[in-house]
Structure 1
Amino acid sequence: MRLRQIAVATAVLGVLCVPAHAEARDISRDTLPADDGWASEGTGTTGGSAADDAHVYTVTDRAGLARALDGGSDTPKIIKVAGTVDANTDDDGHHLDCADYATDGYTLKKYLAAYDPRTWGSAKPSGEQEDARQASASRQAERVTLSVGSNTTIVGLGDAVLKGTNLQVRNANNVIVRNLDLRDAYDCFPVWQPNTGGLGDWKTSYDNIWLTGATHVWIDHVTASDKGHPDAKEPTYFARNYLRHDGLLDITNGSDLVTVSWSRFQDHDKAMLIGNSDSATGDRGKLRVTLHHNQFESVVQRAPRVRFGQVHVYDNRYVVTGDDYRYSLGVSTESGIYAENNAFHTPGHVEVADLVKSWNGSALHQTGTLFNSYPVDLLAIYDAYNSGSERDLTADVGWTPTLHGTIDSAEAADREVARGAGAGRIP
């Protein structure tokens, strides 16, 4: 049996087996194939493939990763991650927990007492404990937030893990991130926002990956989750879940020309936000993103939620679990989602109309959708279900994707994604 056949067969078990006599393929100089989504537009996406030998690094800890990233420099570089890199460590590699970051007298107990809505009211937190929270949060941010510059490739070797890391691709161009298990971007110091959602809510700071003002980015075969500290197990304060995680992958602030492929987003609330504000009209003509052959599993919402962008969502697999599910496709201000051949698996209490949610959005093109193995028309069902309560959606999104490979049927893609998406499964 050929190596690829062995890899595919064993990926069902979550393990990529390679015969002892075979050498793993070096993926570090791979570039995005032609016509593979929006990131292939124009000059394409090559990451750090042009790096000279002096700028090829293998890192095994946070300090090594920070040195290799070089403060987000634009020098072509390839960074290979080996083993587990924990961002919550000091320069000597010792693990840091939330108590190590707390400063200026901050404690959660004091914070809760200071801003209890029954005594504090609905004003924004201010004063001694909020100042202390901000100072403590800044100390954690200095450790966990790592900037990725232009012309960079970051790849995992084997079962590589980035734990607690907030990778930021900020105002950078030409970046590749592949074959990494990105887990538990855990915020020690959430802030209470009294006027959010009526009852107030907790807001956290860190995404596993955040693209802000980034262009030409390829994210491939990553696994992103809260593994280690699921929000579902966090306590409730002020009648709201004490959230510790933000997004798994957020694409905001004029980011453009992004392809996300063959990845797993799982066990999380808000998975992927594309466009961060209804008022960010400068995002018009940007936020062009392709999502293909990804699996969204046990994700409550935002898979993705889109503002302004032209987003091609095809051949993805959705596995809905739990009673807290809200929606998958979020149609927001001036968005143009072109959804083709996606497969949804849901429990019995989830209806077809639940898969889509609209906030000021008016358009959704969809074809080839499977719902628990049955073909459905998401648009027609959404409009029928919401008649009289929300405005109907139109299928005219104003554009037609041209940058893509062969689009498989939803049935075929469903099988292939289950076997091949996620870290450790590059053929």
Structure 2
Amino acid sequence: MSPINRRRLLAGSALAAVAAAAPRAAWGSTGALAVADGFAGVNALGQNGTTGGAGGQAVTVTTAAALADYVGRKEPYVISVSGRIQVGDEMLTVVANKTIVGVGSTAEITGGGLQLGSTTRPGNNVIIRNLRFTNAADDSISVTNSAHHVWIDHCDLSDGYDGLLDVKRNSDYVTVSWNHFHDHSKAALLGHSDTYTSDKGKLRVTYHHNFFDGTDQRHPRVRFGEPVHVYNNYYRGNSLYGVASTMDAGVVVEGNYFENVAHPILSGYDKSGPGRVVERNNVYAGSGAPETLGTVVEPRTYYSYTVDDPASVPRLVTAGAGVGRVQGAAE
């Protein structure tokens, strides 16, 4: 796999101590950490890529109260989550310039979720890595309220109430990479609703090397955003559909591996009007034919990338996606 596709962000000294011990699948061929890739790595809106809490104080939290405290502070922080944290039936509001990273393979947030930003406190420049999310009372992760430059990487998301990872309400410049979605229906919504037209011109998101493992739908389900870049993901046994482009969204779907997915790519879904889709170099193993429509702005307009051989995607993604591949704070 190319170093470009595997770039990772050094988000403070708490991560540096364990870089040499992390598997090659997580850190890239050189074993070194680098910057966030995809749309999260683009310089825009006054933000130079996504740096999270780099330069801020490094802290470790073991309770919901401590987690809620630090993610809501105005200063930058690198927050290491240790062990299983039971959150009440609520979304903890994460404000700007935070890195939230799990320690080892057992860090978990359960019962609640993380919401990036509020209407008065933006959730820009946030990194979430190496965390397990289970049994959220609402969304597991919600990128909302004009949050931009967000990187969600190497997480495990399952058994939520609504969406596992939603991006909506004018959010922009987001990368979702190397995550494992499973045991849930609605995986990844992009775009709030058919009537929320202010999302036009925003919702630029990259999804790469994620494992959509038996989840039913929304991988992603897109409204309005363009370009949305979906590449080198592994889709397995998704009962409703893989990717859906609706409401004149523009989605590029390339280098993915669809296995036993009857409707791998849709243009339009349910009551939502059709969106534009360009597909290329995908594998459809035991799957139906993709729907395509129109033209889409090329992701290379914004950033460089290299697509892995789609035939290798099941092996690469199952070996590298999810928690425990990227270490948190030194243990």
Same fold (TM over 0.5): yes
User: CA offset at residue 413 of structure 1?
Assistant: 2.2
Report the Cα distance in structure 1 between the residues aligned to 2:34 and 2:273, rounded to whole angstroms.
34
Amino acid corresponding to residue 66 of structure 2 in structure 1: G
For residues 336 and 180 of structure 1, do their structure 2 counterparts lie closer, same or farther at Cα, with a shift above 3 Å needed?
Answer: same
Amino acid corresponding to residue 293 of structure 2 in structure 1: T
Alignment root-mean-square deviation, CA: 2.2
For residues 331 and 185 of structure 1, do their structure 2 counterparts lie closer, same or farther at Cα, with a shift above 3 Å needed?
Answer: same
Report the Cα distance in structure 1 between the residues aligned to 2:264 and 2:259, rounded to whole angstroms.
12
Matched, 1:155 2:155: no
Amino acid corresponding to residue 266 of structure 2 in structure 1: V
Matched, 1:399 2:298: yes
Whether the 8 Å CA contact 1:31–1:49 is kept in 2: the answer is: no
Matched, 1:371 2:317: no
Whether the 8 Å CA contact 2:267–2:276 is kept in 1: the answer is: no
Which deviations, in whole Å up to 9, do the C-alpha atoms of 1:169-191 show, x marking residues without a partner?
013210000000111103xxxxx
State how 1:8-407 maps to structure 2 within 5 Å.
Answer: 24-25=18-19, 33=35, 36-42=37-43, 43-51=48-56, 55-69=57-71, 72-88=72-88, 140=89, 144-158=90-104, 159-170=106-117, 171-186=122-137, 206-212=138-144, 213-226=146-159, 245-309=161-225, 310-320=227-237, 325-346=239-260, 351=262, 353=263, 355-356=265-266, 358=268, 359-372=272-285, 378=290, 382=291, 393-401=292-300, 402-407=302-307
For residues 288 and 277 of structure 1, do their structure 2 counterparts lie closer, same or farther at Cα, with a shift above 3 Å needed?
Answer: same
Whether the 8 Å CA contact 1:367–1:377 is kept in 2: the answer is: no
Report the Cα distance in structure 2 between the residues aligned to 1:395 and 1:262, rounded to whole angstroms.
29
Amino acid corresponding to residue 368 of structure 1 in structure 2: N
Q: Secondary structure at the match of 1:269?
A: coil
Identity of aligned residues (%): 40
For residues 362 and 145 of structure 1, do their structure 2 counterparts lie closer, same or farther at Cα, with a shift above 3 Å needed?
Answer: closer
User: CA offset at residue 73 of structure 1?
Assistant: 2.9
Q: Secondary structure at the match of 2:103?
A: strand
Whether the 8 Å CA contact 2:158–2:164 is kept in 1: the answer is: yes
Paired position in structure 2 for 1:102 = none
Whether the 8 Å CA contact 2:59–2:79 is kept in 1: the answer is: yes
Whether the 8 Å CA contact 2:113–2:133 is kept in 1: the answer is: no
TM-score (norm 1): 0.63
What residue ranges of structure 2 are gaps of 5+ in the alignment?
1-16, 23-31
Report the Cα distance in structure 2 between the residues aligned to 1:176 and 1:337, rounded to whole angstroms.
24
State how 1:405-420 maps to structure 2 within 5 Å.
Answer: 405-420=305-320
What residue ranges of structure 1 are gaps of 5+ in the alignment?
1-22, 89-139, 187-205, 227-243, 383-392
Amino acid corresponding to residue 336 of structure 1 in structure 2: G
Q: Secondary structure at the match of 1:73?
A: coil
Q: Secondary structure at the match of 2:65?
A: helix
Q: Secondary structure at the match of 1:270?
A: coil
TM-score (norm 2): 0.81
How many residue pairs are counted as aligned between the two chains?
286
Report the Cα distance in structure 2 between the residues aligned to 1:211 and 1:276, rounded to whole angstroms.
11
Q: Secondary structure at the match of 2:240?
A: coil
- Deviant stretches of 4+, over 6 Å: none
For residues 268 and 32 of structure 1, do their structure 2 counterparts lie closer, same or farther at Cα, with a shift above 3 Å needed?
Answer: farther
Whether the 8 Å CA contact 1:31–1:47 is kept in 2: the answer is: no
Amino acid corresponding to residue 178 of structure 1 in structure 2: R
Instruction: Choose 1 or 2 for highest CA Rg.
Output: 1
User: CA offset at residue 377 of structure 1?
Assistant: 6.1
Report the Cα distance in structure 1 between the residues aligned to 2:84 and 2:299, rounded to whole angstroms.
41
Report the Cα distance in structure 1 between the residues aligned to 2:194 and 2:172, rounded to whole angstroms.
17
Q: Secondary structure at the match of 1:254?
A: coil
For residues 398 and 355 of structure 1, do their structure 2 counterparts lie closer, same or farther at Cα, with a shift above 3 Å needed?
Answer: closer
Report the Cα distance in structure 2 between the residues aligned to 1:404 and 1:157, rounded to whole angstroms.
31
For residues 397 and 164 of structure 1, do their structure 2 counterparts lie closer, same or farther at Cα, with a shift above 3 Å needed?
Answer: same
Report the Cα distance in structure 2 between the residues aligned to 1:267 and 1:356, rounded to whole angstroms.
22
For residues 318 and 422 of structure 1, do their structure 2 counterparts lie closer, same or farther at Cα, with a shift above 3 Å needed?
Answer: same
Report the Cα distance in structure 1 between the residues aligned to 2:98 and 2:297, rounded to whole angstroms.
33
User: CA offset at residue 223 of structure 1?
Assistant: 0.5
User: CA offset at residue 425 of structure 1?
Assistant: 1.3
Q: Which has the higher helix share?
A: 1
Whether the 8 Å CA contact 1:32–1:46 is kept in 2: the answer is: no
Q: Secondary structure at the match of 1:278?
A: coil
